[in-house]
Structure 1
Amino acid sequence: MTRGSTIRAKTITPPAPTIPKIPPAQVLPRLAALQTATAAELKDQWRALFGKEPPPFNRPYLVSRLSYRVQELAYGGLKPETRARLEALGEQLDGGNVVLRRIRADSRPLPGTRLVREYDGVQHVVTVRADDFEYEGRPYRSLSAIARHITGTRWNGWTFFGLKGRPGA
């Protein structure tokens, strides 16, 4: 070897795992098997169908995602045009704000739901409406405003009324 020459090591990247195509006839039996599979079996399925380690989420999440993946591999996924359209709609709704995107809109109680809370011996009833909340015949934009009206102090309205924190939390 001459002076000043260097030895370069080649980095070998492992081949991407091959994800099996699933015959449509196997979809229903595989979906049924997911419902009774152990956590270890679900994780093995994840590795086989996604080609990577499973996330540390709960069993219902794994079953849900694996069910979708089985169907996706059997029948095909969303078309690129559909994905692009969904992304564009998401951008319109949240302005590209990733935090807003993570908040689930469906975690808000359905319109017509009555939230009941006893505070200082008085029962307070709030009715959920499509775009706001009604308390004592008046509309309020947030549960926190109602909780502040009732207690005179700042409260997270979702916590005050016994819901799990903010929507999406």
Structure 2
Amino acid sequence: MSALAPTTNPGDAGSVLARLAALKTTPTPELKAQWRTLFGSEPPPFNRRYLESRLAYRIQELALGGLKPETRARLVALGEELDGGKPHVRKRRLDADRPITGTRLIREWQGVEHACTVTPDGYEYAGRPYKSLSAVARAITGTRWNGWTFFGLKNPGARP
């Protein structure tokens, strides 16, 4: 039987539990080897905890058969409903959360004053358009910043 073939023998429950328990003490290189066997691809460069949880799910999925086709179809439908059918849609801040168009945001950075203007489509800094405040903050500092934090704006997601 292939390592990727599901089993239906209820007697395998003990071996599944043993494999799950062993994940906690398995060295990381061996976890990565298990990933290659169970998923047929290179493991992602994520932390050990992520590898353990995904391997645990995959071991159970192979032993018990995974999600029913109806459940998979329902999850796909819900995902499309949430993101408009686009798999990698990034939610933008609501217009109500953005500063009013024309607002100038000023920040002093390393002794230099920097001004950014809110435009209808995003932001303008040093005569160039930017889609996000984070992109402006990166242009100023050369490192990744949360633009709202960089310019001292409150987080609209945090409610009193």
Q: TM-score range by the shorter chain?
A: 0.5 to 0.7
2:153 paired residue number:
none
2:31–2:52: 8 Å Cα contact kept in structure 1?
A: yes
Per the TM alignment, residue 86 of structure 1 is displaced from its structure 2 partner at its CA by 0.9
CA gap of 1:32–1:141, structure 2 versus 1, over 3 A, is: farther
- CA drift at 1:47: 2.2
Closer, same or farther in 2 for the Cα pair 1:57/1:41, shift >3 Å? same
Please say which structure displays the higher CA radius of gyration. 1
Task: State the distance in 1 between where 2:73 and 2:62 align.
Answer: 20
Task: State which of 39, 46, 58 in structure 2 corresponds to 1:50.
Answer: 39
Report the alpha carbon displacement of residue 91 of structure 1 after superposing the two structures with TM: 1.1
Partner Cα distance (2:13, 2:104) in 1:
57
1:142-157 to structure 2, matched below 5 A, reads: 142=97, 145=99, 151-152=105-106, 153=116, 155-156=133-134
**Equivalent position SS for 2:99:** helix
**AA in 2 matched with 1:19:** L
- Identical columns (%): 50
Q: Report deviation, 1:160.
A: 3.1
**CA–CA separation in structure 2 for the residues paired with 1:88 and 1:79:** 14
Deviation track 1:2-42 (CA, whole Å, cap 9, x = no partner) reads xxxxxxxxxxxxxxx64255621123332222122222111
**Residues 65-113 of structure 1: CA distance to partner in whole angstroms, max 9, x if unpaired?**
101101112222001111111111111111121222xx5x9xxxxxxxx
Answering whether residue 51 of structure 2 is matched by residue 62 of structure 1, we say yes
Q: Is the 8 A contact 2:6 2:64 kept in 1?
A: no
Report the equivalent of 1:19: 4
How many residue pairs were aligned?
A: 109
Report the equivalent of 2:113. Answer: none
Partner Cα separation in structure 1 for residue 74 and residue 46 of structure 2: 28
- Match for 1:60: what amino acid? R
- Counterparts of 1:29 and 1:150, CA distance in 2: 61
Structure 1 residue runs of 5 or longer lacking an equivalent are 1-16, 106-130, 133-139, 163-169
Whether contact under 8 Å (1:18, 1:51) holds in the other structure is no
Q: Secondary structure at the match of 1:145?
A: coil
Separation in 2, partners of 1:26, 1:32: 10
TM-score, with normalisation over the residues of structure 2?
Answer: 0.52
Deviation, structure 1 residue 43: 1.2
Which runs of 5 or more structure 2 residues have no equivalent in the other structure?
107-115, 117-122, 124-132, 135-144, 151-160
